[in-house]
Amino acid sequence: MQPDQVPALSAHEREVYSWQLTVPGHGEAGQLALRGASVLVSRVGGLGSAVALELAAAGVGRLILAHAGDVQPSDLNRQLLMTHDSIGSPRIESVERRLKELNPRLETLCVAENIQADNVEKLVAECDLIVDCAPLFEERLLMNREAVRTQTPMVEAAMYELQAQLTTILPGMTPCLACITPHSPPAWKRRFPVFGAVSGSVGCMAAMEAIKVITGNGEPLAGRLLTYDLRDMSFRNLTIQRRPDCPVCGTTP
Amino acid sequence: MKLTVEWMSQLRVAAGSAQQLLDCPDGTRLTEALEQALAELPPDRALALRPLLLADEGLSSTLLIAVDGVQVPCGTDPELTAGATVLLSSPIAGG
C-alpha cells in the first residue's frame, strides 16, 4: 500500500496512543509505521512475553508468535502471558488470548511450534523484523542465518541469573549472531537460573529496540551490545565487531 | 601493571565474583592475564571456570571478550595496557 493510501489513525487509536503520539520524533507517522509492521517473536516465554505485550500495547499491527508446548507451573515465575488457569493448555493459546485482551485490533499469526529448519523460512518471510527470545542456540542461529539471508533486522535479547544482554542486528551493517556466537556453546543448558523481573527488563528494552528500528526514531544498539547485571545495577555498552570469517555474514568465510 | 577482569553470565557465577584485580608484568597478553586470573582463584572456582573459558583450540570461540569496551576479534591475543579492563561473557539466551 502506498503511504498516501494508508488509512489515518482512527479517533479510538488516537486516544489509545495519546501518551506516545506526543513523544518527540514519533507522532502519527511513527504510529502508522508501527501499525503497518509485522514482527516475529520467537519464543513467547519469559522474555518474549514482555516483548509481545509491549509491542501489542505500542500498536504494532501484526505479531507472528511461535512457541510450542503447554503451560507448565514452572513457566509462571516469568512468562507473563501465561496464567495459572491455563496450566496444561497450549501456551500459544494463552499468549493470543492475553494479547487480544489488551489490543483487540492486533492481528496475530500464532504457531504452536518453535523455530526449526522446516518453518524458519516461512515465518521469517512473514515479518519485517524478528525479536529473538529463544532459549536454544540451534533456534537462535537458524533465525540468524535466515535474517541475514533475507536482510531482516533482528533484535537479540538474552538473560541469565540477574544479568541480561541486548543488541540489534542490521544484516550487512552490524555483526550478526554468529559473529558473536558462531556455534551452540556446549555448556549452555535449556533451564537456567533467572528472575521474571530480569526477563521483563530486557524484554521491554528489546521491544523498544524493535520500535526504534520500525519507526526510525532513536538510535538502536547497532554494532553495540548492552550487558548489565541487576545485582549491582552495572550497565555496559560494548562495541562489537563483524568477523570477516563469520560463517553466516563474513566476507571471507 | 594493574588489570581488571570482569566476569559476566555463567563465568560470573563460576568465578564467584564479578571482578578480579590482577597485578601483571608489563606486556602481558590477554591469554596470559586469563591464565593468571585462573591461577589466583580458589582451586574449586578455577575448576568450574576453566571449561567455560577454554576449548581444544585455546580460548573458546563462543566467548564474548572485550578490552576497554571494545570486542576483541576471535583468535587474537592482544597485548594489554596498564589499567585495562577485560570483560568476558559466555553466551546466554532467552527462555
Q: What percentage of residues in chain A have a pLDDT greater than 70?
A: 98
Domains in chain A: boundaries: 23-239
Query: Rounded distance, CA A30 to CA A32, Å?
Result: 5
Phi-psi group of A161: left, alpha or beta (phi > 0 → left; psi -120 to 50 → alpha; rest → beta): left
Facing B93 at nearest CB: one of A140, A232, A234 = A140
**A vs B: CB pairs below 8 A:** 105
- Interface ipTM: 0.94
Which is higher by pLDDT, A2 or A132? A132
For residue range A65-105, what is the model confidence (pLDDT) as tens digits?
Answer: 999 999 999 999 999 999 999 999 999 999 999 999 999 99
Peptide bond into A43 cis (omega under 30): yes
Q: What percentage of residues in chain A have a pLDDT greater than 90?
A: 93
* Best of B19, B60, B62 to mutate (most A CBs within 10 Å, chain A): B62
Task: Determine phi and psi for A154, rounding to 5 degrees.
Answer: -140, 125
Residue ranges of chain B whose CB lies within 8 Å of a chain A CB? 8-10, 12-13, 18, 51-52, 60-62, 64, 66, 69-71, 73-74, 87, 89-95
For residue range B30-77, what is the model confidence (pLDDT) as tens digits?
Answer: 999 999 999 999 999 999 999 999 988 789 999 999 999 999 988 899
CATH number of A23-239: 3.40.50.720
Q: Does A185 touch chain B (CB under 8 A)?
A: yes
Q: Using alpha carbons only, what angle is made at residue B38 by residues B33 and B43, rounded to the nearest 5 degrees?
A: 165
Cα radius of gyration (chain A): 18
Place A6 in a pLDDT band, splitting at 50, 70 and 90.
Answer: confident
For residue range A31-61, what is the model confidence (pLDDT) as tens digits?
Answer: 999 999 999 999 999 999 999 999 999 999 9
Which domains are present in chain B? Answer: 2-89 (3.10.20.30)
Cβ-defined contact of A180 to B64 (cutoff 8 Å): yes
**What pLDDT shows up at residue A2?**
62
**What pLDDT shows up at residue A187?**
82
Do residues A180 and A154 touch, judged by C-beta distance below 8 A? no
Residues 26-55 of A with CB under 8 A from B: 43, 45-48
